[in-house]
A and B are shown apart, each in its own frame.
Chain A
Amino acid sequence: MSANHDRANLLEVRGLTKIFGTLTACNHIDLNIARGEIHALLGENGAGKSTLVKMLFGSLEPNSGEIFWDGEAVRITSPGVAKKLGIGMVFQHFSLFEALTAAENIALSLNDGSPISTIAAKARALSYSYGLPLDPESLVGDLSVGERQRIEIIRCLLQTPQLIILDEPTSVLTPQEADKLFETLERLRSEGKSILYISHRLEEVKRICDRATVLRHGKVVGHCNPRQETAASLARMMVGNEVKAVVRAPAEGIETAPALLEIRGLTRKPATPFAIPLKNINLSVRAGEVIGIAGVAGNGQGEFFESVSGEVLQQDAGSVRIRGKDAGALSITGRRLMGAAFVPEERLGHGAAPRMRLSENLLLSRHATDGKSFVGSGGMVKNGSVYSAAQRIIATMDVRKSAPDPEAAALSGGNLQKFIVGRELDRKPSVMVVNQPTWGVDAGAAAHIRQALIELARSGSAVLVISQDLDELFELSDAIAVMHNGELSAPLPIAEATFEKIGLLMGGAEPGHAEHTMETA
C-alpha cells in the first residue's frame, strides 16, 4: 500500500464500517495506536465500541474499511488470525468456562499442545511476577469476578501479544483491585506493549491513558489527550451535550421516620453449587431515604434481591417486613399489594417480556395491584386504560421509541430501563427495590432514572438500590451498605463514606479492622 502508513503506529484503522440491518454500528472509524501507549476508546453504551473491538479481534467481519498492522494491510478473519498477529483480548463478559479449572481455561486458548501441568506452572509463575496471584488448579465457577479477570489477563499475556485490548475491565472490580490492574497496565506499557482501553469511566481514563478516541453513535467524534481534559469535557464529547447533574436534596427528619422495609436475620442456603448463601442480613430502610447496596458482582446481591422481592419465599415470615407487617411468606404479588415495587436486574426476559408490547408488559406487572383500573367485570382487560397508562409512563420518563406501543425488545436498553423503572414509579410505591438501575444505560437516561428515584424517596417512600456502580451509589444514596460473600455490612452514612472505605468492605475487610488489614496486606 501507500507509504504514508506510519510504521510508528502498531495498529492503524481506516474507514472501518459495520452495518447490522438498518443500524450502522460503526461508521468509517479511523483509529491509530502507537507502540507503548495506553489508548482509550471512549463512548456511551451503544456508541459502537464493542463492535469496533470485535472487528479488531476477528469475531466480526467489517463491511468495509482497512486495518494496517505494523504498516501492512491485514484481514483479521478470525480470533485465531488476531492472536497470530499479536492481538490479545480481555473480554468484558468473561469468556471463561465455569466447569473447567483455570489452567484448563488457559490451555484452551494457547493451542501449543504442551501438557496442562506445564501450562499451569507457566501461568503461576507469570501471575506472581505481575503481582496477580492465581491458583491454576481452582475451578473457575468458584472464583470471584476479580480472580476470573486475572485468568483472562494471564491467558492473554501468555500469548505475548503486542496489543492488548481490555473491554470495560474495571466495571467488576473493587477500587483496590482496579489500582492493582492499573499497575499491571503501566508495567506492560513500560515493556513497550500497546493497550487499547475501553471504558466509560472518565477518571480512570484521565489517570492512565495517553490518548483517547471518542465514539458517538458509531462515529469518531474526536481524538484528545485525556490528561488535558476535564471529566466534564470528556463527558460532553461522549454524550454530545451537557449531562444534567443529579441533585440530591437533603433528607430531613429521616431519624424519626418509620422503617418501611425491614430485613431481619435473613438467611438463605445456596440453591445451586455456584450460588452464594445469605448470612443473617439485617437492614431497615426508612421513609424518605435511599439506601445503596454496593458489592462486587456475584457476592449474593442476586440472591438477596430474589428474597426481598418474593421470587423466593422465606421460611421465616418475619425476615422481610414491609410497612411493619411480615411479608416473608408472601409472593411477589402479595408484596406488591402491600405497597412494594421491584425492578430486577435483567431488562429483557426478567424485567420485561421481550416480544410483548409495552402496554402488555405494564399489564403483566400491575394486573393485581391495579386490578380495578386495568381489569373490568368478568376478567376482561380494559385495553384502553392500560394503553393510556403506558403512554403516561412513556411521557413522564421520556421514553424514546419508534412506534406508539412497540415491543419491549424494539427499545434500546436505556429507554426500556426508563420504561421499566417508570412502570413501578407510576404506582407511587411506598417501598421500591431496584437491582442495577442503570446498568448499560447511557448517561442521560441514567441521570433521569437516578433523579426519579431520589424524588420518590423524598416524597416519603423507602428506596433500596443494589448496584455495582460506586459512582451511582455515591450520587443517589443517603447511606451505603456493602455486600460481601453473602453478608451485609452496616450502612455507612454518605457523609462518612469514601471510595476507599467502601472498596475495602467490598474486598471483604472487616469494618473496624480496615486499617489493620491495610498494614498486614
Chain B
Amino acid sequence: MDITVNILLTIATAATPLLIAAIGELVVERSGVLNLGVEGMMIMGAVGGFGAGYLTGSPWIGLLAAIIVGALFSLLFAVMTLSLATNQVATGLSLTLLGLGLSGMIGTSFVGQPGVRLPNLDIPGLSSIPVVGKLIFGQDPLFYLSIALTAAVMWFLFKTRTGLTLRSIGDSHSSAHALGIKVIRYRYLAVIFGGACAGLAGGHLSLVYTPQWVENMSAGRGWIALALVVFASWRPWRVLAGAYIFGAVWIGQLHAQAFGIPVPSQFLSSLPYLATIVVLVLISRNKRLTMMNTPASLGQPFVPDR
C-alpha cells in the first residue's frame, strides 16, 4: 500500500512542473504567439529560484524569484517578437539557448551547494489519514497550485470576456485589431504570464523536485510542455491529462528498469513520449474540435498598418 502511495506521489511531483509550464504556454499560444523559449525560461526560473532560496534561506522567496526571473526573461521575448516583430520561432529558439547558457554561468557557484526545499502541506489530523491523507493533504504546495491554475485558466479562457478577447486575438489578430482590440497589449500580458509560469515550473525543479542546482536540470521538460500544448489541442484539461500520463509512464518505466525487466532501457525511456503522444492523438481525433481550438494566427507576427 505504501509503495502505491509513494508511486502516486512521485507521479504527481513529476507531472506538476510540466503542467505549470504547459498551462502558461497554452495561454501564450491561445493569444497567437508561439514561444519556443519555454525550456530557457524554465531553467532561468530554476537557477533564479535556487539562488534566491540559497542566499536567503527561504524557499518562498526562492519561489517568488523564480516567477519574477521567468517573467522578466519572457519580457525579452515579448519586446523582440511583439514590438520589433521578429520571427517568433527563431527568437524562441534563441531564448532557450540563451537561458541554458546564462543559467549555467550564473549557477557555477551554486553547484554542489545544499538547497532549501519547499515543505509539504501538513494539516494536523488530515495529513496523517492512511493512504488519502498523504495524497490529498500532504503534497507540496505547487501541486495544489498547478491544479488550481488549470481550473482558473479554463474558467478564464472560456467563461470570461477577457478570455474570449484573448482567444479572438489568437484566431485572427487583424480582425481583432479592426474591432479596436489592443492586440499587442494582450499578447504582452499573455507572454509574461507564460514566462511567469515557466519560471515557476523551473522553481519547482530546484526547490521541490531536487532541491539543488545542476546545470541543464530542466532536461528537456520545457520541450515536453510545448509538445503537450499542441497534442492537447490547446485545451487545459487535456494538458492536465497529458502531463499526468507522461508523469505516470515516466515513473512506471523507472520502476520497470529498476526491476530489471528484459527490455532495452532505451525503449523504456522512450515510452513516456510515445504513450503521451498516442493518448493525446486519440483524444483529439475529432478534427472539427481540433480545428476550432487551434489558434489560427499562431506564430504570425502582427504589424498594424497605420
Contact = CB atoms under 8 A, between A and B. Distances in A.
Interface of A: 58-61, 78-80, 83, 91, 94-100, 104-105, 107-109, 113, 116, 139, 141, 272-274
18 contacts: A79-B179, A94-B175, A95-B175, A95-B178, A97-B172, A97-B175, A97-B176, A99-B167, A99-B171, A99-B294, A100-B167, A104-B164, A108-B165, A108-B179, A109-B180, A139-B292, A272-B291, A273-B287
Given A59-B177, A79-B178, A91-B178, A100 B291 contact: no
B161 interface: yes
B2 interface: no
Contacts of B185: none
A59 B178 contact: yes
A99 B294 CA distance: 9
Q: Is the interface of B mostly helix, strand, loop or mixed?
A: helix
Contacts of B181: 108
B189 interface: no
Interface in B253-304: 287-288, 291-294, 296
Q: How large is the interface on B (under 10, 10 to 19, 20 to 34, 35 or more residues)?
A: 20 to 34
A107 B306 contact: no
Nearest to B306: A61
A100 B161 CA distance: 13
Interface of B: 161, 164-165, 167-168, 171-172, 174-181, 287-288, 291-294, 296, 305-306
A84 to B, nearest CB: 10
Contacts of B177: 59
Contacts of B171: 97-100
A100 B179 contact: no
Contacts of A83: 180
A109 B291 contact: no
B291 A99 contact: yes
A109 B175 CA distance: 10
A87 to B, nearest CB: 12
Contacts of A141: 291-292
A116 B179 CA distance: 17
A113 B181 CA distance: 14
B126 to A, nearest CB: 38
A50 to B, nearest CB: 12
A94 B178 CA distance: 10
B181 to A, nearest CB: 7
Contacts of A97: 167-168, 171-172, 175-176
B164 A96 contact: no
Contacts of A109: 179-180
Contacts of A274: 291
A99 B180 contact: no
B235 to A, nearest CB: 13
A270 B168 CA distance: 25
Nearest to B286: A273
A266 to B, nearest CB: 23
Contact of B179 (A60, A95, A104): A95
Given A97-B168, A272-B291, A274-B291, A113 B161 contact: yes
A274 B165 CA distance: 22
A96 B178 CA distance: 10
Given A78-B180, A83-B180, 11 more contacts: A59-B177, A61-B306, A95-B172, A95-B178, A97-B168, A98-B171, A98-B172, A107-B161, A272-B287, A273-B288, A274-B291
B180 A79 contact: yes
Residue from B168, B172, B180, B293 having most chain A Cβ neighbours under 10 A: B180
Smallest CB-CB A-B distances: 7 pairs: A79-B180, A80-B180, A95-B175, A273-B288, A95-B178, A97-B171, A99-B292
Nearest to B305: A60
A26 B115 CA distance: 66
Contact of A96 (B161, B175, B293, B306): B175
Contacts of B161: 107, 113
Nearest to A155: B179
A108 B176 CA distance: 9
A74 to B, nearest CB: 16
A60 B306 contact: yes
A100 B164 contact: yes
Contacts of B174: 95
A269 B83 CA distance: 42
Nearest to B294: A99
Contacts of A105: 168
B159 to A, nearest CB: 9
Contacts of A79: 178-180
Contacts of B178: 59, 79, 91, 95
A123 to B, nearest CB: 15
A116 B172 CA distance: 20
Query: Which among B164, B165, B174, B296 has the highest number of chain A CB atoms within 10 Å?
Result: B164
A95 B181 CA distance: 12
A99 B293 contact: yes
A108 B168 contact: yes
B73 to A, nearest CB: 31
Contacts of A58: 180
A93 to B, nearest CB: 9
A83 B179 CA distance: 9
A144 B177 CA distance: 23
A178 to B, nearest CB: 24
A108 B293 contact: no
Nearest to A140: B171
B149 to A, nearest CB: 24
Contacts of A108: 164-165, 168, 176, 179, 181
Given A141-B292, A272-B291, A273-B291, A100 B180 contact: no
A94 B171 CA distance: 13
Contacts of B165: 108
Contact of A100 (B168, B287, B305, B306): B168
